[in-house]
Chains A and B, each alone.
Chain A
Amino acid sequence: MSRVKTLQALFKRYRRPGDVVFAWVFLLISLALLSQIIDQTAYRAGGKLFAQPRFWPAVSLGGMCFFAALHLLSSLMSERIQGRWREAALWVASIEYALWFILYAFAVPYLGYLPATISFAILLILRAGYRSRAIIIGTLVSAICIVLLFKTFLQVKLPGGQLFEALPGGLRQFMLTYF
């Protein structure tokens, strides 16, 4: 009995709520990926083991499964912490901001970098709960500065917006090049 207890003590560790959820998900994904190794990698007959294209995926996925199993074991051995599902719900809630980001990336080639950045910044700042005029003006100025710095001065490779195509001749070219 005492031996089992000391073994538990070795695997126990301090952690945060939701640790066991992550440990399960990570282990299941690792196992799912490992189960695909024959299908998703090739083996060259006659080649040396270490030079096989399958070698490193096998090592890494094997390692992932091994460590993930131990990580899960240590999670299970430790005291349960309340609030794991509340924590997992927060992870899911963060996907909203990931979608905002993807939407912004999707909009830039259509609206153009400057209009897309200004609208995205203002909408997101409102979504974040700010209503004060100072913060909104600050956001507007910051968004314009970011566009000026990266697109106008540093000429970072970003596509010109399709919306700008509707502008008259000279202005169109100017906007496509600098904003």
Chain B
Amino acid sequence: MENFIAGAEMLARWDVVLALLVGAIGGVIIGAIPGVGPAVAIAILLPATFSFDPIVGLTMLLGIYGSSMYGGAIPAILINTPGTAVNALTSYDGYPMTQEGQAHRALSLAYSASFWGGIFGIICLILLSPVLALIAPMFGSREIFLAALLGIILVVLAHRGQVFAAGMLAMFGIFLNTVGLDAVTYTQRYTFGMSFLSSGINLIVVVLGLFALSQAFFLLTNPDDSPDAKPVTGRLTAGFRELLRHKRVATVASGFGVIMGMIPGVGEFTAQFMSYTYAQKTSQAPDSFGKGAPEGLIASEAANNAVPAAAMIPLLALGIPGEALTAMMLSVFYVHNVIPGPQLFQNNIDLVYGLYFALILLNVIVIAFLMVSTNLLTRIIRVPTRFLGVMILILSFVGVYSLRNSLTDCMIAAGFGVLGLILKRLNLPIVPIILGMVLGNIMEVKLRSAMPRLKTPLDMIDRPISFILFVFILLVLALHLRTLAREFRAHQRDEDHDLHDTQLR
């Protein structure tokens, strides 16, 4: 209880409240503008947050993460262009509703389903905390190594139809992490005698290049466009009543969001697909899906908004990020010497509770803001895309240069920007590179620290948790092989669709 109060006290500061407001409102706006996702915004703001207290910086970034999907639903519904890539399924049923003149109904349903999903995710996070505090200390070096390995495998396999590309990019990320002076043996690795490579390749520089600069280059090299959304009339609170008629779909979808959010590398897409399929299969009018079915809209929005809170679970309890945004947040923890992982629940539990409260407040602020500002947002999203590209470029400079005032960093970031542009144009995923860098570092450090206790390779899995993780790894690989064999027999090919676009988040 003391910790609970200490957590609440953490939020009772003007700077935390301000960070929460800026994060929540900024996140909605960023999410609503097609072309800028939360990843771009978080990458740009990341270095600026290093000078803040951990709770202030994290609250702001969490605010952007948690609120961007609310905003992303607006263009998905009104102009059939998802604001963030994870709102893609929202447009399936949202846009047909707009065409039928029910835009306000679709928006209000999306907001209320998002709120339901968001709060459901946080409640699960709070309820799971005691269990996490109990289990987390059972994770030693070898368990964290195996969990990170499982994360890498899942990231690769989750990119269905692009497994080879995801594999090579994840390996590229692991390789990038090894460049520089080896911290234990003090030997150079792939520095080619260049002094600037001795300190390694900075994660933030790579993140800014791959997410922010690449997006700027992408917008600047494409024809100019200005999304045109019509203002909405009608009461936006009506959706809550309609949502209550579909609370089963909303709850199950949120449940999928929580489970998929907890598993590294899986995230919003799989959660959305599973919820959407569930909603369609159990609906009394399955044919209406894709033509303006409220259940489809609810399933999609509830599932993706339940993910942010759930994605905090592996990050806080094990220090393992499941996707790019939590990987970026991990660096905020590291900069402040707060190491997420089992010790966090013992030493900094007030911070954990503080983050829970922040998440609840965030959802309340966002929903209140959206009720009064939706029409204002429809005007904001009309920003011309090339203008947006120039602004992203200027903002990215602050992020890269403020790290250590290095022109070399800017050059490296620009190089990764071009790589990111190529990957986006080819519809290849960017996230595996970032997770490869972060999880690669965790795997290397943890495997080394586990070595002295291992006499034989079997010692790696002689503890209950490590054995379970090992079985999970085998199971995931076996299931993938089984799917491949089935596809091989059925000659089914995956179709090209933009839903792999995790890099646009």
Contact = CB atoms under 8 A, between A and B. Distances in A.
Nearest to A143: B394
B339 interface: no
A63 B174 contact: yes
Interface string A49-74: 01101101101110110111011001
Interface in B321-357: none
A59 B174 contact: yes
B168 A14 contact: no
Nearest to A48: B451
Interface in A1-31: 6, 9-10, 12-16, 18-19, 22, 26, 30
Interface in B439-467: 440, 443-444, 447-448, 451
A101 B414 contact: yes
Contacts of B287: none
Contacts of B185: 42, 44, 53
A36 B190 contact: yes
A71 B165 contact: yes
Nearest to A95: B418
B390 A121 contact: yes
A24 B325 CA distance: 30
A46 interface: no
Interface string B425-447: 11110000000100010011001
Nearest to B487: A10
Contacts of B217: 94, 97-98
Contacts of A56: 174, 177-178, 440, 443-444
Contacts, number: 212
Interface string A104-136: 111011000000010011001100111000010
A71 B175 contact: no
Contacts of B436: 60
B451 A50 contact: yes
Interface string B362-406: 000000000000000000000010110111011111101110010
A67 B400 CA distance: 31
Interface stretch (B7-15, B30-38, B132-140, B491-499): B491-499
Contacts of B415: 98
A128 B398 contact: no
B282 interface: no
A179 B451 CA distance: 52
Given A13-B493, A63-B171, A90-B221, A33 B440 contact: no
Contacts of A87: 425
B47 interface: yes
A155 B48 CA distance: 9
Contacts of B402: 150, 156-158
B224 to A, nearest CB: 7
Interface in B287-325: none
A138 B373 CA distance: 22
B387 A97 contact: no
A177 interface: no
A174 interface: no
Contacts of B488: 6, 9-10
Given A57-B189, A139-B390, A14 B178 contact: no
Given A94-B418, A138-B387, A150-B398, A64 B168 contact: yes
A167 B190 CA distance: 46
Contacts of A10: 484, 487-488
A166 interface: no
A30 B190 CA distance: 13
A100 interface: yes
A108 B387 contact: no
Contacts of B394: 104, 117, 120-121, 142-143, 146
Contact of A91 (B216, B386, B414, B422): B422
Interface of A: 6, 9-10, 12-16, 18-19, 22, 26, 30, 33, 36, 40-42, 44, 48, 50-51, 53-54, 56-57, 59-61, 63-64, 66-68, 70-71, 74, 87, 90-91, 93-95, 97-102, 104-106, 108-109, 117, 120-121, 124-125, 128-130, 135, 138-139, 142-143, 146, 150, 154-159
Of all A-B residue pairs in the complex, the 8 with the closest CB atoms, nearest first, are A14-B496, A63-B171, A67-B168, A67-B167, A60-B175, A105-B410, A42-B187, A98-B414
9 contacts: A14-B495, A14-B496, A51-B184, A51-B447, A94-B221, A102-B407, A130-B384, A154-B51, A156-B48
Interface of B: 47-48, 51, 161-162, 164-165, 167-168, 170-172, 174-175, 177-178, 182, 184-185, 187-192, 213, 216-217, 220-221, 224, 384, 386-387, 389-391, 393-398, 400-402, 405, 407, 410-411, 413-415, 417-418, 421-422, 425-428, 436, 440, 443-444, 447-448, 451, 484, 487-488, 491, 493-496
